[in-house]
């Protein structure tokens, strides 16, 4: 009996032993690079346990403004110290003398460190080039003066630039043929997403040091510098943003408490974005909670009276702008008395300057009788509908879009609405189904200022290799399709200027500015209510200087009560700021 039990126990122990052996073989021999459902690389994990490293650059591409100033990061010359110094007698007094950091502070920082660090982080003390050379000349193991890349906590035009994050599933979906770590950062919004394929890292730059179980040097005290050693990567995306102007724009938007909205500023000469501000801002702790991640300047909004510019263009080209004709601007578009805006009889020019709804409702109906597609035709001619961001073929990518999250503008959604006279009247004043992005509204003003020439809007001018040479150049491109005539553009320029110089014009507030402004105001009913009050979109879209156009600017405050504003003051202060900068 006891012999049978002994054999049974022996069999059980042998079985358990072989199970352990099989598991050990699986771990050590067969599944070392793809272990468990989490696909762990055991070799890499083992090395990590015995490795201390300090990343100097994650290898992902960068963004700069039009003048080459970094937008998303900064490079800093820092003093790097390794924790194994606490087990050594090193020339701390010499390092202190060069860096002007007290020796006690250096020793204290090293003694409390568990991993390599740049002294003073998260706000590291920056060294001069001379100090760097002197520190490195000492050749102290574990003491280095290096250039380190720091991501900015506050990025200018954050919704335009976008965010990055880790998403192993999306990474594999986007790049099935590339061997990339699951920890690789990918763009999840904005330009980070549009240009993601160009921004992917070739490898990280880092300092590496191997330790034993108690943190002592494993292979001597040599620290290894690891770098992809590729002179072309990471690339730099040179945006068209002017960092100084962008920072001023953000300051002004916040000063006038624009909670939802912002501004778009275009350089008319090359039709590129100089500044773009969208509010609400991104909540960095929880970016997907709320609308902060949404770039409101690229989303279709209800235009209101800004759309009267389109109706005016159609009226001019179809000769229904009779200067002697008077419109009853004491009536609404439905013929009922207009109690709030009781303007009396106005001609075409004064109607535009004072933004008379009755005039443009009637004109829209008359134009619709001629051709139900007229309003859409002229909205397209003025680049208000469709998408306006730069697109084209680059490398192996066809129809590449700089702004992948840009909405398209529209006038009607159905043929029934297109043929309905009353709906045409509502559309004529920028209500009903009329929608456009603030970017497109700014582009419409730039188109008019250029005499009718419509172009794609660029937010990136080129992609540069690490050594400064150009990888991809995004040249100026015209938008396809018909344009308004130079004569119509000239007449529209005068109408937009009349809005400002007319004593009763809706833009009379801008008459005394250092740059002469031309533009159009807009107050659109949104159909939304808060605390029993109707909410509106408040706009001003224009360009300046009037005689020699340089800038197109749109300011917009979305979903606000009729008593709230800020748009005119924001526009005016941006004009002043640009004048000061230019002079």
pLDDT at 43: 45
One domain for residues 324 and 366: yes
Does residue 219 lie within any of the structural domains?
A: yes
One domain for residues 373 and 235: no
One domain for residues 180 and 247: no
pLDDT at 217: 47
Q: What are phi and psi of 117, to 5 degrees?
A: -150, 155
CA distance 81 to 64: 30
Does residue 352 lie within any of the structural domains?
A: yes
Could you tell me the two tokens for 44?
A: 């890499």
One domain for residues 255 and 212: no
One domain for residues 260 and 224: no
pLDDT at 289: 80
What would the DSSP string read from start to end of 444-464?
HHHHHHTTS--BPBBSEEEEE
The residue range of the domain holding 94 is 49-239
**How far from 90 is each of 97, 98, 103, 135, 142, CA to CA, in Å?**
14, 14, 11, 13, 9
Pick the last residue of a domain from 239, 259, 287: 239
The residue whose two tokens read 């960068």 is 62
Predicted confidence pLDDT, tens digits, the chain (583 residues): 566 666 666 667 666 766 666 565 555 555 555 545 545 444 444 444 556 677 888 889 999 999 999 999 988 999 999 888 888 889 999 999 999 999 999 999 999 988 888 998 888 889 999 999 999 999 888 888 989 888 888 899 999 999 999 888 998 999 898 888 888 889 999 999 999 999 988 777 777 766 555 455 443 445 666 667 677 888 999 999 999 999 999 999 999 999 999 999 999 999 999 999 999 999 888 888 877 899 999 999 999 999 999 999 999 999 998 999 999 999 999 889 888 888 999 999 999 999 999 999 999 999 999 999 999 999 999 999 989 999 999 877 889 999 999 999 999 999 999 999 999 999 999 999 999 999 999 999 999 999 999 999 999 999 999 888 999 999 999 999 999 999 999 999 999 999 999 999 999 999 999 999 999 999 999 999 888 889 999 999 999 999 999 999 999 999 999 888 889 999 999 999 999 999 9
- Helix 421-428, helix 357-370: angle, nearest 10: 130
Does residue 18 lie within any of the structural domains?
A: no
One domain for residues 515 and 413: yes
Q: Is the peptide bond before 74 cis (omega within 30 degrees of 0)?
A: no
Paired with 548 in beta bridges are none
pLDDT at 532: 86
pLDDT at 42: 46
| Residue pair 81/109 in contact by the 8 Å Cβ criterion | yes
pLDDT at 227: 67
One domain for residues 121 and 249: no
Out of 189, 305, 351, 427, which one is annotated catalytic? 305
pLDDT at 124: 86
Question: Strands, E, within 143-288: which ranges?
Answer: 143-151, 164-166, 185-187, 205-210, 224-226, 236-239, 261-267, 272-279
Does residue 477 lie within any of the structural domains?
A: yes
One domain for residues 139 and 167: yes
CA distance 331 to 346: 12
524, with CB counted inside 10 A (0-12, 13-18, 19+), is buried
- Nearest Cα to Cα of residue 287 among 164, 391, 369: 164
CA distance 549 to 449: 6
pLDDT at 221: 45
Cβ neighbors of 546 (< 8 A, separation 6 or more) are 493, 497, 515, 516, 517, 518
Residue 204 belongs to a domain with what CATH number?
A: 3.90.1310
One domain for residues 281 and 399: yes
One domain for residues 271 and 420: yes
What burial letters (b/e) apply to 38-71, b meaning 16+ CB within 10 Å? eeebeeeeeeeeeebbbebbbbbbbbbbbeeebb
- Nearest Cα to Cα of residue 329 among 307, 353, 310, 313: 353
CA distance 119 to 136: 15
Contacts 24+ apart (CB under 8 A), 185-188: 185/58, 185/60, 187/162, 187/163, 188/162, 188/163, 188/164
- Count how many domains the chain has: 2
CA distance 449 to 496: 10
Does residue 284 lie within any of the structural domains?
A: yes
Task: Report the Cα 511 to chain-centroid distance in Å.
Answer: 32
- Nearest Cα to Cα of residue 120 among 150, 90, 162, 85: 150
Does residue 258 lie within any of the structural domains?
A: yes
Could you tell me the two tokens for 179?
A: 């061997």
Does residue 38 lie within any of the structural domains?
A: no
Does residue 34 lie within any of the structural domains?
A: no
Residue 269 belongs to a domain with what CATH number?
A: 3.40.710.10
Pick the last residue of a domain from 204, 239, 274: 239
pLDDT at 218: 41
* C-alpha count within 13 angstroms, C-beta hemisphere, residue 39: 5
Pick the last residue of a domain from 205, 239, 273: 239
pLDDT at 475: 94
Read off the DSSP letter of residue 17. Answer: H
CA distance 384 to 532: 32
One domain for residues 415 and 339: yes
Cβ neighbors of 212 (< 8 A, separation 6 or more) are 50, 218
One domain for residues 325 and 223: no
pLDDT at 50: 55
pLDDT at 8: 65
Q: What are phi and psi of 400, to 5 degrees?
A: -70, 135
305 catalytic residue (yes or no): yes
């Amino acid at each position: 009996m006891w012999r049978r039990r002994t054999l049974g126990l022996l069999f059980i122990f042998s079985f358990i032993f072989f199970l352990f052996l099989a598991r050990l073989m699986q771990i050590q021999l067969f599944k070392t690079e793809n272990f468990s459902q989490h696909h762990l690389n055991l070799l890499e994990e083992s090395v990590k346990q015995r490795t201390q490293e300090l990343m100097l650059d994650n290898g992902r591409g960068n963004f700069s403004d039009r003048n080459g100033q970094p937008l998303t990061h900064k490079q800093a010359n820092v003093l790097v110290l390794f924790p194994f110094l606490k087990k050594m007698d090193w020339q701390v007094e010499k390092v202190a003398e060069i860096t002007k950091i007290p020796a006690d502070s250096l020793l204290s920082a090293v003694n409390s460190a568990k991993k390599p660090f740049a002294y003073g982080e998260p706000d590291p003390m920056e060294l001069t080039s001379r100090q760097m050379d002197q520190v490195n000349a000492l050749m102290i193991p574990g003491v280095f003066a290096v250039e380190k890349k720091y991501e900015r906590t506050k990025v200018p035009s954050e919704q335009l630039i976008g965010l990055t994050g880790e998403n192993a599933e999306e990474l594999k979906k986007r790049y099935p043929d590339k061997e990339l770590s699951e920890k690789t950062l990918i763009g999840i919004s904005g330009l980070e997403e549009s240009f993601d394929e160009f921004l992917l890292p070739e490898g990280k730059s880092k300092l590496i040091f191997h330790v034993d179980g108690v943190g002592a040097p494993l292979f001597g005290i040599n620290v290894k510098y690891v770098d992809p050693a590729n002179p072309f990567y990471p690339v730099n995306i040179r945006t068209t943003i002017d960092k100084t102007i962008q920072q001023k724009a953000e300051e002004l938007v916040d000063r006038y408490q624009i909670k939802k909205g912002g501004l778009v500023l275009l350089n008319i000469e090359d039709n590129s974005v100089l500044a773009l501000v969208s509010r609400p801002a991104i909540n960095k702790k929880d970016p997907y909670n709320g609308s902060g991640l949404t770039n409101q300047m690229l989303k279709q909004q209800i235009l209101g009276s800004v759309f009267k510019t389109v109706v005016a263009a159609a009226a001019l080209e179809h000769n229904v702008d009779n200067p002697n004709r008077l419109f009853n601007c004491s009536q609404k578009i439905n013929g009922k008395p207009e109690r709030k805006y009781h303007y009396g009889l106005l001609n075409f020019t004064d109607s535009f300057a004072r933004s008379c709804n009755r005039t443009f409702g009637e004109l829209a109906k008359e134009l619709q009788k001629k051709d139900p597609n007229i309003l859409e035709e002229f909205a397209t001619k003025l680049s208000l509908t469709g998408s306006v961001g730069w697109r084209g073929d680059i490398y192996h990518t066809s129809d590449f879009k700089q702004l992948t999250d840009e909405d398209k503008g529209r006038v009607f959604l159905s043929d029934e609405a297109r043929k309905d006279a009353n709906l045409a009247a509502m559309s004529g004043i920028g209500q009903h189904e009329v929608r456009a992005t603030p970017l497109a509204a700014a582009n419409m003003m730039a188109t008019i200022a250029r005499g009718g020439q419509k172009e794609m809007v660029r937010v990136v001018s080129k992609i540069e290799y690490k050594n400064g040479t150009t990888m991809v150049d995004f040249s100026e491109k015209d938008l396809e399709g018909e344009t308004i005539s130079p004569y119509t553009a000239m007449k529209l320029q005068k109408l937009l200027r009349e809005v400002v110089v007319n004593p009763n014009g809706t833009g009379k507030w801008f008459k005394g500015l250092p740059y002469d402004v031309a533009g159009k105001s807009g107050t659109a009913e949104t159909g939304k209510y808060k605390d029993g009050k109707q909410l509106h979109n408040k706009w001003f879209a224009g360009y300046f200087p009037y005689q020699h156009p340089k800038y197109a600017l749109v300011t917009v405050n979305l979903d606000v009560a009729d008593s709230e504003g800020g748009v005119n003051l924001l526009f005016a202060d941006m004009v002043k700021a640009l004048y000061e900068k230019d002079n």
